């Protein structure tokens, strides 16, 4: 996963953190007041923000092959990063997965969505995969998704399609204060 930049196209990354651990860890960092306060502070200070973002980048790159899209889908994808799919599909695998489960673009690698489905199913989070993932806001690329998450900006990253139809594909809420 570390050579993802060199290879040009994103490469499916097999997470180094077990799905169960990832879900457990999530509970610890779920948004709450101290985190919101911290995120606001981080965002205000350029240096702090740079260091915090660098820390997030290193950690998540090592664990998930993070591409720093700034709007983390991991909690809804079995903690396998869909942005490591060469087509960066956020709603499930493309139709080109080989019968043995290999990525069509990187035939030596397993499709990251297969990994995601397996992990989500094992951890009892299979229903997450039915969520409709909204388009990525490309302005967030390179920014800290944790800071966004703690400030509640990720709340409409996906929509349930269970009852009514999904709402019109309106833009996500403005991505917050100037940065």
Partner 1 sequence: MSIPTATGPAGQGTSRPGFAHPEPAAEAGPAGGLRAAIASGRFVVTAELGPPRDANADAITRKAGFLRGWVDAANVTDCQGAKVKLSSLAGSVLARAAGVEPVMQLTCRDRNRIGLQSDLLGAAALGIPNVLLLTGDHPRFGDHPEAKPVFDLDGVQLTWAARTLRDGTLMSGQRLEHPPTWLIGTVENPFAPPTSFRARRLAKKVAAGAEFVQTQYVFDVERFAAWMAEVCALGIPRHCAVIAGVGPIRSLRVLEMLTTGVPGIYVPDEVGRRLRGVPAGKVESEGISLCVETIQQVAGIPGVRGVHVMAFGFERGVPDILERAGVGPRASLASVPEGGGHAH
Strand partners, 110: 102
Task: Report if residue 3 touches partner 1, rule: CB under 8 A.
Answer: no
Task: Report if residue 104 touches partner 1, rule: CB under 8 A.
Answer: yes
Between 58 and 97, how does the x/- string for binding to partner 1 read (CB under 8 A)? ----------------------------xxxxxxxxxxxx
Nearer to partner 1 by C-beta: 130 or 155?
A: 130
Q: Alpha-carbon distance 65 to 15, whole Å? A: 7
Q: Alpha-carbon distance 173 to 156, whole Å? A: 8
Angle at 5 between CA 101 and CA 87, to 5 degrees: 40
The answer to whether 86 and 103 are in contact (CB under 8 A) is yes
Work out which of 28, 32, 47, 138 binds partner 1, going by CB under 8 A: 138
Residue 70's nearest CA partner among 139, 17, 15 is 139
Residue span binding partner 1 (CB under 8 A) among the ranges 32-40, 59-67, 149-157, 161-169: 161-169
Contacting positions for partner 1 (CB under 8 A):
9, 86-101, 104-105, 111, 113-114, 117-118, 121, 127, 129-130, 132-136, 138, 161-166, 168-171
């Amino acid at each position: 996963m570390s050579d993802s930049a060199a290879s040009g196209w994103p490469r499916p990354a097999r997470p180094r953190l077990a799905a169960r651990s990832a879900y457990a860890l999530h509970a610890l960092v779920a948004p709450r007041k101290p985190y919101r306060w911290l995120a606001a502070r981080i965002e205000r200070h350029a240096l702090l923000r740079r260091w915090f973002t660098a820390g997030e980048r290193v950690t998540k790159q090592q664990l998930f092959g993070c591409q720093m899209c700034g709007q983390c889908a991991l909690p809804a994808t079995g903690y396998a990063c869909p942005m490591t799919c060469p087509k960066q599909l956020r709603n499930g695998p493309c139709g080109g997965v080989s019968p043995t489960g290999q990525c069509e673009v990187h035939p030596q690698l397993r499709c990251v969505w297969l990994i995601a489905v397996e992990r989500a199913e094992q951890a009892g989070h299979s229903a997450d995969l039915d969520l409709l993932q909204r388009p990525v806001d490309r302005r967030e690329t390179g920014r800290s998704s944790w800071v966004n998450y703690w400030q509640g900006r990720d709340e409409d990253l996906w929509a349930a399609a269970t009852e009514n139809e999904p709402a019109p594909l309106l833009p996500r809420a403005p991505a917050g204060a100037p940065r």
